[in-house]
């Protein structure tokens, strides 16, 4: 396993023009915009989603009223795995870790009263990303908002599901086809939508190092670009809409170096490996979320400090949008109090810290620049190893990435157990008396209401129209045409998310991990 060892060199071989440059210019080490936050702060995009669509809609409006500047939606596990709320495998999980969306009817309730032509929306969804995107578009069109007016992001990053998270449905290669079809659909129908958020967040949550986080994320990004090119898409038509999603952990300078190195790596990959000539294709734009795995159930108020440090790292590293976790999330879903405090944390950092007064506050620091160089060097080594294995898909199929992450996670756990790595309130400065915290309640009645709504829909709709539309989707899946067009027709005729997923299961198969 490659280990990061930071030497703290004196930068004798530092080439400012090659490695640093100017903000908004290749290689984008210093940020993707010339003025960065002097022009506009990052988007404050707090993650929300629980229970029914109505409950999440209320939380969205609460956060927008508190000053949030973008929406970010979490979906429950049945929705992520392609099961309707009334499916036997959904029992006990409906609305538990995100909102339950089974149909166009649910999406209407989720988005009711929201200005979809003004707000940007991020949806953390992968296996069923194309389905949720089309439901969002259908609701927008009912409100008179056209596809070109819609702005937002779907995560749509299936490769990291096989590596780190597990909410996959289909095998890797047909899943890649769904992603490429989404690229092509959005290029024509929703040109301002970010078609993928290539995610290192979950890789880090699974236990990776900072170096592994960006190396494996960019390797996955390379695989998506190669798949799109193989399908005949034009590089600079789809590449400007690729975006990324990274974690923020507690080591302030390592995190800042990670973001800077990732930008520089992606710029060189797009220009030198793929031959891009469009600066927008070379810009690594990313969302950041503070580290869920760093939060502790012991002394949960300590998490407020952790989240503040992590938010500062993301801002110093030049993020385009940010979610800050609630301090109580080691115990359950964030309460309204914790969610508001998390948003206020961003606002204090953005408006009171002075961080936005200069474009790149840490540029030229000996420590930061040497750390950036070291992270980049080690990440390149990983990317070279993955290339030698045949690329990210082959590396995933051989369990290479999974094994590297598991080894890093084990080493970290051992260091905490030994006390080499201090976790305040856990292995040092602990207290025998636990601190009581409010826990977000799970409403069983909401789960039951969602199940009843899905069952009612399946009775009252035109089931013959649904059957015909799903047959057309199956035919497209067996062939080579873009599946999103018949999928949209099926969803508009009130086919459910689970029914769409079942059609694709029948045509693509179901992935079983080794």
Residue 44 forms beta bridges with which residues? 322
Hey, what's the torsion of the CAs at 441, 442, 444, 448, to 10 degrees?
A: 130
Does the pLDDT at position 128 exceed 50? yes
Alpha helices, DSSP H, located in 269-352: 279-282, 302-316, 336-352
pLDDT given at position 3: 44
Helix (H) or strand (E) holding 406: helix 400-418
Nearest to 372 by CA among 6, 26, 16: 6
d(CA 154, CA 144) in angstroms, rounded, equals 21
Residues 108 and 54: beta-carbon distance below 8 Å: no
Taking CA 196 as the corner, what is the angle to CA 110 and CA 339, rounded to the nearest 5 degrees?
45
Does the pLDDT at position 21 exceed 90? no
pLDDT given at position 336: 87
Residues 187 and 238: beta-carbon distance below 8 Å: yes
DSSP string, 114-145: --TTTS-EEEE-STTHHHHHHHHHHHHHHTT-
Instruction: Report the b/e string of 235-260 with b at 16+ CB within 10 A.
Output: bbbbbbbbbbbbbbbbebbbbbbbbb
**For the residues 300-319, what does the mean pLDDT come to?**
98
Q: Calculate the average pLDDT of the chain.
A: 93
**Residue with more model confidence, 335 or 147:** 147
Instruction: Report the b/e string of 391-403 with b at 16+ CB within 10 A.
Output: bbbebbeeebbbe
Does the pLDDT at position 397 exceed 70? yes
Read off the pLDDT band of 105 (50, 70, 90).
Answer: very high
Read off the pLDDT band of 450 (50, 70, 90).
Answer: very high
Could you say which DSSP state residue 233 is in?
A: -
Tokens of 514: 């080794």
Read off the pLDDT band of 447 (50, 70, 90).
Answer: confident
Among 62-71, 187-196, 482-491, the range scoring the smallest mean pLDDT is 62-71
**For the residues 367-378, what does the mean pLDDT come to?**
95
**For the residues 300-315, what does the mean pLDDT come to?**
98
Domains defined along the chain, listed by start: 16-418 (3.20.20.240)
Q: Provide, rounded to the nearest whole percent, the portion of the chain with pLDDT above 70.
A: 95
Does the pLDDT at position 32 exceed 70? yes
Could you say which DSSP state residue 273 is in?
A: I
Read off the pLDDT band of 18 (50, 70, 90).
Answer: low
pLDDT given at position 7: 47
Does the pLDDT at position 163 exceed 50? yes
Contacts of 452 (CB under 8 A, 6+ apart): none
Does the pLDDT at position 438 exceed 90? no
**For the residues 481-490, what does the mean pLDDT come to?**
98
pLDDT tens per residue, range 279-295: 999 999 999 999 999 99
Tokens of 190: 């929703």
Contacts of 360 (CB under 8 A, 6+ apart): 23, 30, 31, 36, 318
Tokens of 27: 């290689």
Does the pLDDT at position 8 exceed 90? no
pLDDT tens per residue, range 82-96: 999 999 999 999 998
Does the pLDDT at position 114 exceed 80? yes
Q: Provide, rounded to the nearest whole percent, the portion of the chain with pLDDT above 90.
A: 85
Q: What count of Cα atoms within 13 Å lies in the side-chain half-sphere of residue 38?
A: 12
Q: Round to the nearest angstrom and report the end-to-end CA distance of the chain.
A: 21
Read off the pLDDT band of 437 (50, 70, 90).
Answer: low
């Amino acid at each position: 396993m490659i280990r990061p060892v930071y030497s703290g060199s004196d930068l004798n071989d530092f080439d400012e023009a090659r490695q640093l440059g100017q903000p908004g210019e290749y290689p984008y080490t210093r940020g993707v915009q010339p003025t960065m936050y002097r022009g506009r702060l990052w988007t404050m995009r707090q993650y929300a989603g629980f229970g029914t669509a109505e409950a999440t809609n209320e939380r969205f409006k609460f956060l927008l009223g508190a000053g949030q500047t973008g929406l970010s939606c979490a979906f429950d596990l049945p929705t992520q795995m392609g099961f309707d709320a009334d499916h036997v495998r959904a029992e006990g999980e409906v609305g538990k870790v995100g909102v339950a969306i089974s149909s166009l009817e649910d999406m209407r309730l989720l988005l009711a009263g929201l200005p979809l032509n003004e707000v940007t929306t991020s949806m953390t969804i992968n296996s069923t990303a194309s389905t949720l995107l089309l439901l969002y578009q259908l609701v927008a069109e009912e409100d008179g908002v056209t596809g070109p007016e819609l702005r937002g992001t779907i995560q749509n990053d299936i490769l990291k599901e096989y590596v780190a998270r597990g909410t996959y449905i289909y095998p890797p290669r047909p899943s890649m086809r769904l992603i490429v079809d989404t690229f092509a659909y959005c290029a024509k129908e929703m040109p301002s939508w970010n078609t993928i958020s290539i995610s290192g967040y979950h890789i880090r949550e699974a236990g990776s190092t900072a170096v592994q986080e960006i190396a494996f994320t960019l390797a996955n990004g390379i695989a998506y670009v190669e798949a799109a090119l193989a399908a005949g898409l034009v590089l600079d038509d789809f590449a400007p809409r690729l975006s990324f999603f990274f974690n923020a952990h507690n080591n302030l300078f390592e995190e800042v170096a990670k973001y800077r190195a990732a930008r520089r790596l992606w710029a060189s990959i797009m220009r030198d490996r793929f031959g891009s000539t469009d600066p927008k294709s070379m810009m690594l734009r990313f969302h950041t979320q503070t580290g869920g795995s760093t939060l502790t159930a012991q002394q949960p108020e300590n998490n407020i400090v952790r989240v503040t440090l992590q938010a500062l790292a993301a801002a110093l590293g030049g993020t385009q949008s940010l979610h800050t976790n609630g301090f109580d999330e080691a115990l359950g879903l964030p309460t309204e109090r914790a969610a508001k405090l998390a948003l206020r944390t961003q606002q204090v950092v953005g408006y009171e810290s002075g961080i936005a007064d200069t474009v790149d506050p840490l540029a030229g620091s000996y420590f930061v620049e040497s750390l950036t160089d070291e992270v980049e060097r080690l990440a390149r080594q990983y990317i070279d190893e993955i290339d030698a294995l045949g690329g990210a898909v082959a590396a995933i199929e051989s369990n290479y990435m999974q094994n590297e992450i598991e080894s890093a996670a084990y080493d970290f756990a051992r260091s905490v157990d030994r006390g080499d790595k201090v976790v305040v309130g856990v292995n040092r400065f602990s207290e025998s008396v636990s601190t009581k915290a409010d826990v977000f309640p799970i409403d069983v009645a909401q789960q039951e209401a969602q199940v009843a709504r899905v069952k009612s829909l399946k009775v009252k709709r035109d089931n013959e129209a649904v059957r015909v539309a799903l047959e057309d989707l199956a035919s497209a899946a067996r062939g080579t045409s873009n599946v999103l067009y018949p999928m949209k027709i099926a969803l508009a005729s009130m086919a459910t998310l689970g029914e769409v997923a079942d059609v694709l299961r029948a045509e693509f198969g179901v992935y079983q991990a080794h």
